[in-house]
A and B are shown apart, each in its own frame.
Chain A
């Protein structure tokens, strides 16, 4: 990169570290407040540390609500969406990158356009659709729409990873007598797998984060509710229980953070691939 004079570089590095602290501060504050005893959270003298960390807030979260149940529901819904949309997107991305056929470009433009659709606006027709299929109040009413909404971006991003597998490998496989199906699942799939995982982080986030469908479709069967709903229950009162809200937020954020850090290397290259064309 460009050569930068020493004092300037030091100044730049100081600025960078300061910005990093500011950017990380909200997450630090969330963790801290989750572990603070109740008196310190709702205090007029907020301190950026605590001398007596406690698990009281977490305990409250798990006791007051059916929180464990909601957590499992969220995990189940998100996993189902991640697995289903990854498999479907893998097949579709293979079709549009490794084959030439009529309407290929049209399809690609359709996938691109589909990403723009504001899913919140579709809550209304989706509600009627779920009602007509008697799917309201079930976890399926959360899983199925999210598969559809995460597909376009997943296909778009996976194209880069599928394209990166050299064609020579494919020819070699056929020369060796591998069938198309065999090539697809035993050669292409493992090679694209890291990309598949990176792509999944986005399906995971949107599904994990969703409260609109949970709010609109899970009306009476509260045992099928998800994490965001539980969080909003804590939050919605006149005087929110901030310790509880922060503990619940922490529980909701940690899985995504872990997922993100695990795939971050592929994320950058994957986005690069999705960007390029």
Chain B
């Protein structure tokens, strides 16, 4: 195998950089710079007075962080975010992987039906998915309450039932990604390998442990990490379904909390500090991901 692409031998050392310029300019201006700004604002005293009053922002050091970490609500929101994201990831992976296995055991027609249904859920924009699930579980007019015989039961009133409703919507719209990729992964395992295993008298459990699991591990890592990242920064569903974080903020997660702090109570610095905390946590997840990629020894 050649390791060098033919183009690079034909001179043009600057060609890749030329191709990269538009992407790098856009990313530097609209991603890197805002991240820098986010960090900066989190270190300043930045409220309505600075935004519209033209007052100069004063440097506060880590005062905002001290305030944030001293706030009981921050810790409860952080805990809720971690627990909720964990449950969503677990639910999504369980449903997605089981259905991927199910898909390999059935004939074309039912498989197509399940695939199309999943594709529909996947394509649904988060915002319309949220409104539809709200309607399904509506206290007065929803078919679910009718079916379960719950008269006038409001799912968004209690903290846990509201979280549960959002959980259902999130699993519904995120399991298709897991299912489709895992199914593609299982299908990519050569049939001869499985046949050879069964000829050698390997049990189903043994086949799974020694052949399928190791071959599926890389894909499983990717879908797990992706799910963690998506569910940890969930915004739309919580914002729409619990009307901005639920009664008295009982359904807040970090991302919505940061937004509310900044735009509802004009505490831009505190909102930014929460954003920085999220960035740091997600960076940690990314580092784990990179380590796992590296361990597989594959080149990027």
Contact = CB atoms under 8 A, between A and B. Distances in A.
A16 B116 CA distance: 12
Given A1-B105, A27-B121, A125-B37, A113 B286 contact: yes
- Looking at B105, B107, B122, B181, the one whose CB has the most chain A CB atoms below 10 A away is B105
A232 to B, nearest CB: 7
Contact of A117 (B6, B31, B110): B31
A222 interface: no
Interface in B119-144: 119-129, 131-133, 135-136, 138, 140-143
A180 B114 contact: no
A216 B263 contact: yes
Given A2-B104, A26-B121, A27-B132, A125 B8 contact: no
A96 B293 CA distance: 18
A168 B174 CA distance: 39
Given A1-B104, A98-B5, A17 B283 contact: no
A171 to B, nearest CB: 5
Given A12-B102, A98-B7, A101-B8, A91 B20 contact: yes
B278 A256 contact: no
Interface in A35-74: 41-46, 48
Given A125-B34, A148-B26, A277-B298, A23 B255 contact: no
Contact of B113 (A20, A45, A100): A20
Contact of A46 (B102, B123, B142, B188): B142
The binding surface of chain A is classed by DSSP as helix
A261 B118 CA distance: 11
Contacts of B240: 232, 235
Interface in A99-158: 99-101, 104-105, 107-109, 112-118, 120-126, 128-129, 144-145, 147-149, 151-152, 155
Contact of B300 (A30, A108, A115, A267): A108
A9 interface: yes
Contacts of A269: 184
Size bracket, chain B contacts: 35 or more
A29 B129 CA distance: 11
A275 B183 CA distance: 13
B113 A16 contact: yes
Contacts of A275: 181, 185, 218-219, 222
Interface of B: 2-8, 10, 12-13, 15-17, 19-20, 22-24, 26-27, 29-31, 33-35, 37-38, 41, 99, 102-107, 110-111, 113-114, 116-129, 131-133, 135-136, 138, 140-143, 146, 172, 177, 180-181, 184-185, 188, 191, 194, 218-219, 222, 229, 233, 235-236, 240, 255, 258-259, 262-263, 268, 271-272, 274-275, 278-279, 282-283, 285-286, 289-290, 293, 298-300
27 contacts: A20-B113, A20-B114, A20-B116, A24-B116, A26-B136, A30-B128, A92-B20, A92-B23, A92-B24, A95-B19, A100-B8, A101-B17, A120-B255, A122-B34, A122-B35, A122-B275, A123-B263, A124-B271, A167-B2, A170-B7, A174-B10, A180-B10, A231-B128, A242-B138, A246-B131, A253-B124, A260-B119
